[in-house]
Amino acid sequence: MDDKLLFSEEEVAVPSNHDAQQFWHVLIADDEPAVHQITTMVLGGMEVQGRPLKLISAYTGEEALQVMAEREDIALALLDVVMETPDAGLNCARVIREEMKNKYTRLVLRTGQPGQAPEEQVIRDYDINDYKDKTELTSTKMKTLVYSTIRSYRDICTVNQSRKGLRRVIDAISEVNESHTLRTLASAILDQIINLLGLQSDAICCRQLSAYAASVQEGHYHVLATSGDMDKYKDVQSIDELPAEVANAFKKASETQGSFATEHYYVCYKRSHMGAENLLYLEYPGDLTDLDQQLLEIYASNVGLTYENLLIREEVEDTQRELVYILGEAVEGRSKETGAHVKRVAKISHFLALSYGLDEESADLIKYASPLHDIGKIGIADSILNKPGKLDDVEWQTMQTHANFGETLLARSGKRILKLASVIAGQHHERWDGTGYPRGLAGEEIDVAARITAVADVLDALASQRCYKEAWSYDKIVDLMQRERGKQFEPRLVDLLIANFEQIKAIRTRYPD
């Protein structure tokens, strides 16, 4: 199902900081000063869920709309039907709901002339929550009205916060699947859990809680998730960088290998089957039930397990990438060329890909695939590969077959890196002007990954010593690149190379022969 179908109604302005407020804000819109005085007397000192009311006065419909436009935290609006016009209150209700798209503030219309705006018609035609005759609003009924409407407002805001949190979780799951990043997902779920705990009391205040979750492995802490005031510590590298109370709590939990609670915070301790310690620190203003603690334990266990699974997946992928480098270096070593050449080509290709405007994922794929650009040389005889002089025509034709051989060899795989490596192997000797081999491709017929790798390969090969030549100077290489601009190489890539030549030189310095 499309997320827009799930969340489209929630895209309007939401009371963004209702949970951090100290008051319930109530708007009184009435053109009679006496009504304001009486309402203030009745509601003065009243509290709902431990929070006092803060009354805001408006004497016209226009003033009321101005207040509503300036604030997103009005819990209840008491609107007089007749103010500067006979239908001023009705118009306010319409504008608030239809134009301001405010679905959260509870709207109660009050009238001293019930016959002018019949109750059934008003309730039917306007999106309001109640309609009262001023004469029936005794002190008790007024307070009852306030209690019920503000609780309704609180619950709507809580549901909205949960829905927003669910959306964060859904988005974060997608991000984890795409980028292998856990923190966004773990933090989103942590916020959701805190929100759920808050439903037992004042859910609007739940985000005042601060929570911090970390995993310790091989003696080092790695932050998995943060929430609330603890967000500032999401990048810490040591437990000593945490607040003293948090650090001491983690140390105590680790020493005792158990969870514990104090009057102000709860620490959850879970040890994984791989030996990693997963710790959760949660500050809270009240008691946690057994069910609350079980929920937090489940969270700590599963976030830690997800983290371990990501580490395993990352290790497998690192191993695959390392094997690509090893294989590329083995080919270069067979031809008595420098093994560091493939690493430099990979790094330079990655840099050029990003400079060219490719996204990070595409640039990474080129980096991981480019080391296999000359894999086809394993099918070339040593006598040709290591010949110190110039190849004759027959030998040169044989050497050219390495492009097709490498492409065919790698094309057997369905993996993204090896599929791209197949393309690079088969096309990195094509030329922009169409005079290259093996197919004579020209311009953008050549895959951009092959065009980029070709520039990186030629540059590094020229700058390195080979059995058949000495290393070229950088000035001589730049001169060649400029002469081959639009011939052997894509003009834009040559321009990028020259414009960033110092960065390219720095890459070669970091990976010497």
| β-bridge partners, 222 | 215
Residue with tokens 């307070």: 143
Of 274, 221, 225, the residue nearest 249 (C-alpha):
221
Q: Contact, 20 vs 51, CB < 8 A? A: no
| β-bridge partners, 133 | 111
Whether omega before 438 lies within 30 degrees of 0, making that bond cis, reads: yes
Give the start-end residues of each E strand in 164-229. Answer: 211-217, 220-227
Q: Contact, 19 vs 208, CB < 8 A? A: yes
Residue with tokens 């003065």: 44
Task: Give CA–CA dist 425/418, Å, rounded.
Answer: 10
Give me the catalytic one of 270, 347, 367, 377. Answer: 377
Cβ neighbors of 128 (< 8 A, separation 6 or more) are 93, 107, 108, 109, 122
User: Residue 166 corresponds to which tokens in the numbers above?
Assistant: 């669910």
Handedness of CA 403, 408, 413, 414 (dihedral sign): positive
Q: What is the largest CA-CA distance in the chain?
A: 109
Of 141, 63, 154, 66, the residue nearest 106 (C-alpha):
154
Helix (H, G, I), strand (E, B) or coil at 59: coil
User: Residue 442 corresponds to which tokens in the numbers above?
Assistant: 């020209």
Q: Contact, 221 vs 239, CB < 8 A? A: yes
Handedness of CA 190, 161, 18, 25 (dihedral sign): negative
377 included as an active-site residue: yes
Of 365, 376, 363, the residue nearest 334 (C-alpha):
376
Going from the C-alpha of 234 to that of each of 20, 219, 296, the distances in angstroms are 22, 18, 19
Cβ neighbors of 16 (< 8 A, separation 6 or more) are 72
Number of residues that make up the chain: 513
For strand 24-29 and strand 74-80, is the pairing parallel, antiparallel, or unpaired? parallel
Task: Give CA–CA dist 181/104, Å, rounded.
Answer: 35
Catalytic positions:
377
